[in-house]
Amino acid sequence: MPPIHDFIIRSAQPSDFKRICDFYLAHNSPALPAPSAKIVGDTIADGKILIVEPAHGGALVASGAIFELSPKTAVAYVGELAGMRATREVGGLKPITMQMTLLGLRLLGHVAGSAIPARSGMTNSIIAIVKSDNQASIKNVEHIGMRRLLNRPDWFEYDEQLWNGAIIADDWNHYYADAGTIERALSLLWPVGLPTGTIELQRVDKGSQQLEQFRFVLELPDIKVALREFENFRKTGAGIELLPPPLTLTFRA
C-alpha cells in the first residue's frame, strides 16, 4: 500500500493570524510579496483565506486567499485571487497541483451562496495580478480559465504606487474570472472528489520513486451547501455572474 498523507483544508480563523503572517513572510519574494498584517486580518475576518495543514497538527503547507481591492463602500466588489503558496510537502501533485486545487476552491467558495451581500447596482469581480515573468503562476491562472484583462482600470494605479512605488502595468499581467472560470474549476475538482468532501491526489516521490497518496478533507461548509447549485450550473451554465472589474468606482450614497 502506498503511504497516505492526510491534510485538512479550511478557512482561517482569528487564532491563525500569526502563523499565517509568518507563513507569508517565510515565502515572500518579488513575484509573491507578503500581504500586510491589516490585509491578513481583514481577509480572515471576511472568511477569505484558505489554509492547508496536516490532519494531526503541524505547520501550514499551503494557503490561498481573495484580498478585497475595492473599498467596502463601493457599489462594485472587486477581489484579488492571491496569497497562493504551496510548500514542498505538497509539491508535484497530480492530476492537479496544490496551487490549482486552492485556486479552484477559493473561487468556488467566493461564489457559493452569494457570499457578497447584494446591493443595488452591485457587480462582482475577481482578478489575479501575476508578474509577467512568473510563467508558473501565469500557467496556473490561464489553466483555471481566467481571461487576460485588456482594459485595466486606472484606479489600480493607487495600490501599485503604494506597494511598488511605480505603475507596474508593464511588469505584471492582469486577469479576471468569469462564469467559464467557475465551470473550469468544477471540471477540475469534481473528478478528484469535490462532491465527497475529500480531494484525493497523488505523486511519485523523486527519491524512492514510490507512489504517495494525498487526502485533503474539506472543512468548507459554504462549498458543501452549494454543491447542488454547482451541479445545476454544470448542467445549465446559469446562476453565476462574474464580470471584469469596473473602469471607475461608484460609491453608495
pLDDT digits (tens, 9 = 90+) for 126-166: 999 888 888 888 999 999 999 999 888 988 887 766 555 45
CA angle 171, 177, 197 (to 5 degrees): 120
Name which of 5-14, 25-34, 90-99, 207-216 the model is least confident about: 25-34
Q: What's at 38, amino acid-wise?
A: K
Ordered by where they begin, the domains of the chain are: 4-236 (3.40.630.30)
Q: Residue 251 corresponds to which cell in the numbers above?
A: 460609491
Q: Which residues of 177-212 are buried (b: 16+ CB within 10 A; e: fewer)?
A: bbbebbbbbbebbeebbbeeeebebbbeeeeeeeeb
Q: Residue 172 corresponds to which cell in the numbers above?
A: 505584471
How many Å apart are CA 218 and CA 198, to the nearest integer? 6
Category of 239 on φ-ψ map: left (φ > 0), alpha (ψ -120 to 50) or beta? left
pLDDT of residue 134: 84
How many Å apart are CA 7 and CA 158, to the nearest integer? 39
Query: What is the per-residue pLDDT across 198-243, written as a single tens digit (0 to 9) for each?
Result: 999 999 988 888 999 999 999 999 999 999 999 999 999 888 889 9
Count of residues making up the chain: 253
Instruction: Please return the burial class of 236, using the count of CB atoms within 10 Å of its CB with bins 0-12, 13-18 and 19+.
Output: exposed
At residue 203, φ and ψ (nearest 5 deg) are: -160, 165
